[in-house]
Every structure is written in C-alpha cells, then in structure tokens.
C-alpha cells in the first residue's frame, strides 16, 4: 500500500481504499441552466436524456449518493416483505469451458463470498428449523401412523416421524412451535427417504386415478348396457307374450282334440292323436330295454296298442339276436347247458333256481388233488376222455358210514376213487346204469346198478355238492335224458312232520330206506330207525 491508501481487513476479503478525492462531496451535481441548455439541444438523443419536465422542478437534484441510498432502502423494503433465497454461483474457470476446475479461483470465490463463515455459523447451532405443521405435512408419508392423515397434535406427529426415521438425541430439538435440526446429513437423509417414498405415493395416485378413470368408463358402459337391457327385456317380454298366446291357443286346440278323440275324425282330434303317437314313440325310444331279459315296456295309448305289440316283439328278437351274435364259443356252450338244465329241472328240482346264475364247470377238485387225479386219468382210463370231476361223499350200504370219494365222469363210464389213496373203487359203465335224484333241495344221488354187475353190492348212495351240475354233465355226455330220473318220493307223516322216503337196493335183494325231511340246517345222519336221514334245506 502507498501513503495515500488504507485497507479494511474483512472476513470476506481485504478492501483497499485511496484517499485522493475522498473528501469531495456532491461533485456529480448538474446545474439547472446546463439542463435547460441540454433540453433545448437539437440532438434528439441528448434531448431525450434531459426531459423538459425535470427543468420545471425547483427541487435540488439528487446526488449519486442519495440515489444509491434510496435504491438501497427500496431494495431492503422489498427483501423484508419476502422470503429471499440467496444463490451463490461459483465459476470453475475463467475460460468458460467444461471439464476444467481452477482450485485457486474456486477457493478465492468461496473465501470472498463468506461461505465458510456461513457454514461455521450454521454448524454452531440448529441450522434447519421448520414449524410442526409444515414438517408433518411434507414428511407424513414416511410413517404408517401419520399417513395419510394424522388427527392428533402436529407436534406429536412430528415426534412419531423422528422416532420412525431414527433421529439421534443430539440431532434435533423439539421447540414450542418448530423442530430444530442440527446437522445437514439428518435433513438430507430425511429428504432422501421422502424422495424415495414419492415413487410409492405416485403409484398410489396413479392407481387411484386409473381406478377413477376406469370406473367412469365402467359407469358409462353400464349405463349403455342398462339401456340395451331395457330394450332387450321389452323385446323378450313381447316375444314371451306372443309365445304364451300361441301356447294357450294350442292347449285349447289339443284339449278340444282330447275331448273329441272318440268322435268322428276332425282337425282337432286328428292332430291330438298324431301328437300322442309321436310322444309315445319318442318316450319309447328313450326307454327301450337294453337286455332281452328285461320285461319293462312303457304302456301304449289306445291307438298304438297294435304297434306296441309288434315293436315289443321285434325289439325282443333284436336284443336276442344281438346277444347271440355277441356270444363266444364258451358262452354258447354254457347257454346250451343252461337250456338243457331248464328243460330238465325247472319245476322238478327245488334247488334249480340256485344253479341259474353260476356257470357250470367241469372240474371241482382242489389243486392239491389235481396231480394224482391227472395221473389216474392217463394210466387207468384207457384213453377215455374225462368230462367232469368233483369230490363227493359215499355212504356205505350198511351203517351208512360216510366215505370221501372222487367222482370222475368219462365218455364211457363213471369212476369212484378213494379220497385218500386215489385208488379206483368203482367203474360203472354208462350204458348199464342210471341215476336217481329227489325233487327236494338236497344233493343225494342214487346210482342204480343192475344185478349182472356182480362185483357191486347194491346201489351207490352219493352226496354231491352241485347235484344239478353233475346231472347236466351226465346228460350232455350220454345224450340220453332217461338216464337221470327225478323221483317224487313217497311220503308219510312222522311226529307231525312230512317225511319223504326213497328206497334203494342192498346186497342179496334186500332194500334200504332214505328218509328226507326239510329243515333250516341241511345234514345227513343215520336215524334211530336205522335208515339214512337226510335233512334238506327249506
């Protein structure tokens, strides 16, 4: 500095002043006569700078200092009635180019703008302060307890937000009407949370707006649909009225036809009869029997009786043919045996209904006896073909002691084997014997042996589990129905019960008696009279 200079050291920078002309005052005054001369000048630019209205004023003109003072006072008045925000711009370089950062220039600007002192002042206290209402209104979306509306006191809502955001005890203070926040980081974190939450709020607003827009569109479409439905219901009601009127006319027409159905033919009863026939045929087509064993048939009206009889017969024949066509060789064989069984035993043997359902089999011997029986048929039957085999019980001629036997039927003879040793006990040629059974629900079979067969001592008494099946195989092999006799035995009353008697031949021309009674439990025992007592099922 020179002798004529002095310097003020300020926190924003040092300012140096010169004393030359420091005491001169009001040297910017322009006298009135000079203004008048300028106003009367022929130059338009100079004349516009000194308007004639200023010449008429006798007030002393303002100096530059007075103008500066008045302008500064006006500026302060404007600032005091506003909320100013000072924005300090820092130039990174003097070349006005991007990508360059002059550290000394930036440091100089920061120093002379007083930013560091401003920061020190700010950090010394609570730099951010805001009323509870404004703070709560801005940041209420950051807590579920305050969103969307908090109905309590604003201070309590702000305290909830502070707890929700995790403010430390030294980071903020709760005043009487405002909240004071010390560190900018706390405010920045709060603002960052708010900025992140704005996306969620925007999505809610979008959802509500889209919902409102869609509901408006829905209501418009619904109103149009209601109008369309109104016209459609009207149209349908008109059509329903027409249909009911036509239906009522048809009902009256057919009621008249029903009343006059037995009179001379006319339009009404002719249509009624045709409708009756169509309905009966339609109903019949939906309820035709599916099996020829079924006897169901819907009743026919008077005018369809003859047609019903013919159709029923034709349908029965059709079902029978379909059944026959669908039979394989095995089923056909069973059907032939069942027909033979019906012709022989129906109404002649009381246990015949029990044999209708099960199929007839040609082997009823258990598996453990199959191998010895098979060996016997190969070695002892001399090439005869085995047609039927079953276990039976043979009763002795004297004492009627039961013996287990196996009954084998070949194409030429009947074989009885011992139930334990599988040795042959009897061989009876089919052309010399006959079979006798009762008409009761028992399994007793008498094999009557002629006298010329000397080695057999009288008739054989057998208890066969499936008596009808055994007889059918005998009839099928021999093709002779007379070989099986169904005996309607003689009867007498014994102790108030009806007893049937069947006689059989013993050795040396003697005869024995088989008494047959009915009871709940079938059994075969020796009676006290010495006869064989058979309790047949009821």
pLDDT in tens, 215-225: 999 999 999 99
pLDDT at 455 over 50: yes
Q: Which residue blocks in 302-369 are alpha helix, DSSP H?
A: 305-325, 329-345
Find the range with the poorest average confidence among 327-341, 373-387, 516-530: 516-530
In this predicted model, what pLDDT tens digit does every residue of 249-292 receive, in sequence order? 988 888 888 888 778 888 888 888 888 889 999 999 999 998 87
Which two three-digit tokens encode residue 347?
Answer: 């109404």
How far apart CA 537 and CA 439 sit, in angstroms, is 12
Average pLDDT for 106-130:
75
497, pLDDT greater than 70: no
Question: Which range in 220-234, 456-470, 482-496 is most confidently predicted, on average pLDDT?
Answer: 220-234
Least confident window among 147-161, 328-342, 345-359, 485-499? 485-499
CA 349 centroid distance within chain: 58
pLDDT digits (tens, 9 = 90+) for 290-316: 887 788 899 998 888 899 999 999 999
Best CA proximity match to 421, nearest among 481, 375, 357, 467: 375
Q: Under a CB-based contact definition with an 8 Å cutoff, are residues 461 and 394 in contact?
A: yes
Instruction: For the chain, state the CA radius of gyration.
Output: 65
Separation of alpha carbons 83 and 90, rounded Å: 23
Is a pLDDT exceeding 60 seen at residue 345?
A: yes
Task: Choose between 56 and 204: higher pLDDT.
Answer: 204
Q: Spell out where 48-127 has E strands.
A: none
Q: How high is the pLDDT of residue 423? A: 92
Residue 513: strand, helix, or coil: strand
> Other CB atoms closer than 10 Å to residue 223's CB: what's the count?
10
Q: E-strand spans in 37-123?
A: none
φ/ψ (deg, to 5) at 124:
-70, -25
CA 193 to chain centroid = 46
Instruction: Kindly list the structural domains of the chain, giving each domain's residue range(s) and its CATH number in brackets, ordered by start.
Output: 5-81 (1.20.58.530), 268-326 (no CATH), 333-487 (2.30.29.30)
Task: Give the DSSP letter of residue 508.
Answer: G
Helical (H) or strand (E) element with 343? helix 329-345
pTM score: 0.48
Confidence of residue 360 (pLDDT cuts 50, 70, 90): very high
pLDDT for 404-430, tens place per residue? 999 999 999 999 999 999 999 988 999
Calpha distance 487→114 (Å, rounded): 142
Return d(Cα 460, Cα 442) in angstroms, integer.
Answer: 16
**446 in Cβ contact with 470 (< 8 Å):** no
């Amino acid at each position: 500095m020179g002798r004529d200079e002095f310097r003020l050291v300020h926190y924003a920078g040092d300012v140096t002043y010169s004393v030359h002309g420091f005491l001169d005052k009001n040297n910017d005054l322009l006298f009135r006569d000079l203004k008048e001369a300028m106003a009367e000048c022929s130059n338009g630019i100079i004349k516009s700078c000194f308007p004639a209205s200023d010449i008429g004023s006798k007030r002393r003109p303002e100096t530059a200092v007075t103008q500066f003072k008045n302008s500064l006072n006006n500026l302060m008045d404007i600032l005091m009635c506003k909320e100013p925000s000072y924005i300090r711009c820092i130039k990174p370089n003097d070349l006005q180019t991007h990508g360059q950062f002059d550290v000394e220039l930036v440091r100089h600007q920061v120093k002379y703008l007083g930013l560091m002192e401003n920061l020190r002042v700010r950090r010394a206290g609570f730099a951010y302060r805001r009323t509870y209402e404004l703070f709560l209104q801005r940041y209420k979306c950051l807590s579920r307890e305050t969103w969307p509306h908090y109905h309590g006191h604003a201070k309590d809502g702000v305290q909830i937000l502070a707890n929700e955001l995790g403010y430390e005890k030294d980071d903020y203070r709760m005043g009487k009407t405002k909240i004071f926040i010390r560190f900018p980081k706390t405010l920045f974190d709060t603002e960052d949370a708010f900025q992140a939450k704005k996306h969620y709020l925007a999505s809610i607003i979008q959802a509500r707006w889209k919902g409102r827009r869609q509901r408006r569109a829905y209501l418009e479409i619904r109103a149009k649909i209601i109008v369309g439905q109104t016209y459609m219901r009207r149209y349908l009601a008109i059509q329903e009225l027409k249909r009911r009127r036509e239906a009522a006319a048809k009902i009256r027409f057919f009621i008249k036809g029903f009343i006059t159905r037995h009179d001379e033919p006319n339009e009404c009863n002719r249509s009624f009869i045709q409708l009756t026939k169509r309905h009966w045929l339609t109903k019949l087509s939906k309820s035709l029997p599916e099996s020829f064993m079924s006897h169901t048939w819907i009743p026919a009206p008077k005018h369809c009786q003859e047609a019903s009889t013919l159709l029923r017969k034709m349908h029965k024949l059709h079902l029978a043919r379909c059944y026959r066509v669908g039979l394989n060789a095995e089923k056909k064989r069973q059907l032939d045996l069942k027909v033979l069984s019906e012709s022989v035993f129906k109404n002649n043997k009381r246990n015949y209904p029990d044999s209708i359902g099960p199929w007839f089999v040609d082997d009823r011997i258990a598996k453990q006896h199959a191998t010895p029986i098979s060996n016997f048929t190969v070695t002892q039957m001399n090439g005869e073909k085995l047609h039927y085999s079953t276990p039976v019980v043979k009763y002795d001629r004297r004492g009627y002691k039961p013996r287990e036997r196996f009954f084998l039927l070949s194409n030429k003879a009947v074989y009885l084997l011992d139930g334990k040793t599988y040795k042959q006990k009897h061989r009876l040629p089919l052309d010399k014997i006959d079979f006798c059974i009762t008409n009761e629900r028992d399994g007793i079979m008498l094999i009557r042996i002629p006298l010329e067969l000397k080695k057999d001592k009288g008739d054989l008494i057998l208890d066969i589990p499936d008596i009808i099946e055994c007889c059918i195989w005998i009839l099928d092999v021999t093709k002779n129905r007379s070989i099986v006799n169904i005996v309607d035995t003689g009867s007498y009353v014994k102790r108030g019960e009806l007893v049937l008697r069947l006689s059989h031949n013993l050795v040396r021309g003697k005869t024995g008696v088989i008494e047959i009674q009915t009871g709940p439990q079938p059994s075969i025992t020796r009676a006290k009279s010495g006869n064989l007592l058979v309790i047949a099922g009821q």
